[in-house]
Structure 1
Amino acid sequence: MTPPKLITLRPALSYALWRSVLPTGLSLLFLVLAWTLSPVFIWCSLAFMLAAVYRLRYIRSIQYVITEGSLQVSSGLLFKRTDYLELFRVKDYILTRPVLMQVFGLMNLTLKSTDPENPVLTLTGIPAMDLVGELREWVQRARALNCIMEIN
């Protein structure tokens, strides 16, 4: 008996850094203001730097685990949350690669499903690969295994 296939993905560090640029920039701006105008601005700088570090750590904590039957999305630093999506519920795949993501070799994969809790699930900032082809095969296999027939 062969072990079930498993794909584990995380948003790339470059994606997390890019998403943390705004609070980092604001932190540096307030640091300059603290240096030139008033030391009171140091607290604003510290608050924005903490926000940037939290955002970076939060994005890096997201984990996508794809098995032959389900997709698990785990996220959170202080409070962990795991969402499960059965693959036979997936209806459509949307792959987007904006210019900046193309530069860093990343992509976003949006899955539309019939799941009432997660009708649209997006895997953001993952490395660019042929994930849609393999995922499509797993969805078809899961539908056949669960005797699911699509009626339009």
Structure 2
Amino acid sequence: MPTDDRANPSAPAESTLWKGHSSQWVHFWFYLFCVLLAIGCLVALPFTGGLSIAGIVIPLGLWIARWWVTKATHYELTTQRLRKTSGILNRRLDELELYRVKDYSLEQPFVLRMLGLGNLSLITSDASTPELELKAIAGAEDVREKLRHAVQSERDRKRVRELDVDSSGGAGAISG
């Protein structure tokens, strides 16, 4: 059973390995739709007697809201946990203890790779966050490597290991 670091004064101090947030590029198609909608409202100006100018407020508002939500979501990888802070008016902090990370994968679609971005997906044994995806983060390969080393270090420090049990009844299954 993992120990609580607050009760152990000899536990190493937690330090930040990486901080970042998702890139706005993840919403490219949404932003393009907003631009096309605004252009449509401008083109309709002569046919609506100027009323379509009010329609520009909607795509502009949608653009600002999406941009702000993305900008307000922050990730912080420390030597002991991964923190995700999100929200504009109401803030939410989710913490994932690194020893609970079971698997991680890096995906770099062509467009994101050209921009130096990538998606990092985590599968965990955490009850509140079984899966976590860091979308369109800069330097995703470097972050994945830092995460890998931090997970192993934290498992060694806490003396925990992940145990996979096959319930399909195959050769490696535990049977009674």
- Give the TM-score range, shorter chain: 0.7 to 0.9
Instruction: State the percentage of identical aligned residues.
Output: 27
TM-score, scaled relative to structure 2: 0.76
Q: Using a 3 Å threshold, how does the CA distance of structure 1 residues 75 and 24 change in structure 2: closer, same or farther? A: farther
- The answer to whether 1:93 aligns with 2:104 is yes
Q: Which whole-Å deviations, capped at 9, do the CAs of 1:64-118 have from their partners, x for residues lacking one? A: 1000000011112222211111111111111111121112111110111011111
- The answer to whether 1:72 aligns with 2:86 is no
Q: 2:68–2:88: 8 Å Cα contact kept in structure 1?
A: yes
Aligned pairs for 1:42-57 (under 5 A) are: 42-57=53-68
Q: 1:20–1:56: 8 Å Cα contact kept in structure 2?
A: no
Tell me the C-alpha RMSD between the 2 structures. Answer: 2.0
TM-score, scaled relative to structure 1: 0.87
Identify unmatched segments of 5+ residues in structure 2.
1-11, 165-176
Which structure has the larger Rg? 2
Identify unmatched segments of 5+ residues in structure 1.
none
Q: Which residue of 2 aligns with 1:103?
A: 114
- The answer to whether 1:36 aligns with 2:53 is no
> How far does residue 2 in structure 1 lie from its aligned partner after superposition?
7.5
Q: What is the total number of aligned residue pairs between the two structures?
A: 150
Whole-Å separation in 2 of the counterparts to 1:3 and 1:151: 26
Moved over 3 A (4+): none
- The answer to whether 1:63 aligns with 2:74 is yes
Q: Which whole-Å deviations, capped at 9, do the CAs of 1:18-77 have from their partners, x for residues lacking one? A: 2533223322222322x1321332222211111111111211221110000000111122
**Could you tell me which amino acid in structure 1 is paired with residue 47 of structure 2?**
L
